[in-house]
Amino acid sequence: MKLLNKIRNLFAKKDKRRIPLTHVHTFKTGEKLYTYSKEYYGSIASRHYYALNEALNYITMYGADKKTVEKFFDTILDKNKQVISGINILDNALSINTLIEFQKSYIFGKTSLQLKYQEMLFCMFYLLEDEIEGGYSDVFNEKKLSLINKDQEMRDVFFSSVQTIAKDLDIILEQNTEQMIKDIVKLLEIQSQSIQSTLNVTG
């Protein structure tokens, strides 16, 4: 029965949302963007703050985001296989060495880290009309970023709104960005647990 209800929720009309949303913007292509009110921040899918944690871990460990790291290792492995197979040994060996030296010297700059942080928060707190509230979708996240990145002016507006969200969550923007992410993760987890406890009591 629970599975059936979940399936029904996936295909339910969005005018029957279980969490009220506020319409904040309509893109030039017609897609509508919504956001949560502060009291519903705790209902945001835990997958979002797991993603924040994952991003933080990659940046802290490798100095780059997950996609960049995966691409780096895939390239290294591919060239290494070619060396083992005797294909362009010298060229591939030099390429591997160059890639490793570049990675050693590469630093994920403060600006890049801040942008990554803003993108993830944008995906966390804003959702499209067909998106399930309180859910998580890589497909929708990519679509949102694609839409917002095509409109520089609105991107600046929404990425600046992160400051308001951070303030609502009592996050100090002037502190280290890694610490901001950790604080957001912690607060959202606490809020989520609080809402879940309430649901268990009233359920």
Mean of per-residue pLDDT scores for the chain? 75
State how far the alpha carbon of 108 is from the alpha carbons of 69, 86, 102, 182, in Å: 12, 34, 12, 18
Q: What band does 176 get if pLDDT is binned at 50, 70 and 90?
A: low
Answer whether residue 5 is part of any domain: no
- Percent of the chain at pLDDT > 70 equals 66
Element (H, E) at 107: none
**Amino acid at the residue 180:** M
- pLDDT score at 202: 39
Last residue of a domain, one of 105, 135, 161: 105
185 and 128 within one domain: yes
Last residue of a domain, one of 83, 105, 127: 105
Least confident of 48-62, 131-145, 173-187: 173-187
User: Is the pLDDT reported for residue 145 higher than 60?
Assistant: yes
Answer whether residue 59 is part of any domain: no
Global pTM reads 0.61
User: Is the pLDDT reported for residue 108 higher than 60?
Assistant: no
Domains contained in the chain, number: 2
The domain of 83 spans: 66-105
94 and 124 within one domain: no
156 and 86 within one domain: no
Place of tokens 């835990």: 46
Residue positions counted in the chain: 203
Q: Is 172 exposed, middle or buried (0-12, 13-18, 19+ CB in 10 A)?
A: exposed
Chain mean position to CA 74: 22
Place of tokens 């630093």: 107
180 and 118 within one domain: yes
Answer whether residue 1 is part of any domain: no
113 and 97 within one domain: no
- pLDDT score at 193: 52
- pLDDT score at 13: 43
- pLDDT score at 185: 57
Answer whether residue 127 is part of any domain: yes
Q: By C-alpha distance, which of 150, 94, 158 is closest to 124?
A: 158
Q: What is the pLDDT of residues 10-63, one digit of tens each?
A: 444 445 677 889 999 999 999 999 988 877 877 777 778 778 778 777 776 776
176 and 120 within one domain: yes
Report whether 27 contacts 147 (CB < 8 A). Answer: yes
176 and 162 within one domain: yes
DSSP state of 202: H
162 and 137 within one domain: yes
Q: What band does 99 get if pLDDT is binned at 50, 70 and 90?
A: confident
Last residue of a domain, one of 55, 85, 105: 105
Answer whether residue 154 is part of any domain: yes
